[in-house]
Amino acid sequence: MAEAQLPRRVDAVKLVDNNQQLNAAIDSSKLTRLGETAVRCDAPVHCEINFSRDRENNRLLSGSCHTQVVMICQRCLGEVSLPVESSFELGLVFNDDQARQLPKRLEPVELDEHGILDLWTAMEDEVLLALPSYPVHTQGECELKQPEPAPEITESDEKRPNPFDVLAKLKQ
């Protein structure tokens, strides 16, 4: 059964007033900033989103999202597939004054003048913030390129005359 597509833009004010919950996915190929940051995104971004109000009557967007991305391992420079998960609690505001009044625990997300939220951008932001700053394979999985061992010295190399022996004889 195919998962429902998350709508790009929603009336956040109406969804908050109705305590709406959304469980849907975003086709990761449509998230351009994620595509520019990672080598590729192997899976859709699965989102569980709740629109509600907190005890101080602030509009909230809370929930979680997860996906699978491929990045460049900073240890071996090969591709590494990493799970990305984010839990969030965001305050929905109309302007900077409302954003300053939010409790410190809430990150502000600005709605347009009609209360419309670009949900894809908000979810893409959360995935980007959850990406590792130093992606690496798990211990033991890296395919480090080891330098070739130095050539072994053979007997013929040891018996070769030293070119500086002539100088030593001249010094005597």
Residue 75 inside a domain? The answer is yes
Residue 17 inside a domain? The answer is yes
Residue 4 inside a domain? The answer is no
Structural domain including 84 reads 9-138
Residue 52 inside a domain? The answer is yes
Looking at residue 166, what is its pLDDT?
A: 80
CA of residue 42 relative to chain centroid, distance: 13
Number of domains in the chain: 1
Residue 120 inside a domain? The answer is yes
pTM recorded for the entire structure: 0.76
- Smallest CA-to-CA distance from 67 within 92, 117, 30 is with 30
| Half-sphere exposure at residue 32, Cβ-oriented, CA atoms within 13 angstroms | 0
Rounded Cα distance between 146 and 11, Å, is 56
CA of residue 89 relative to chain centroid, distance: 18
Quick: pLDDT tens for 95-118: 999 999 999 999 999 999 999 999
- Smallest CA-to-CA distance from 37 within 108, 132, 109 is with 132
Residue 148 inside a domain? The answer is no
Quick: pLDDT tens for 7-62: 999 999 999 999 999 999 999 988 999 989 999 988 999 999 999 999 999 999 99
Residue 169 inside a domain? The answer is no
Quick: pLDDT tens for 24-35: 999 998 899 998
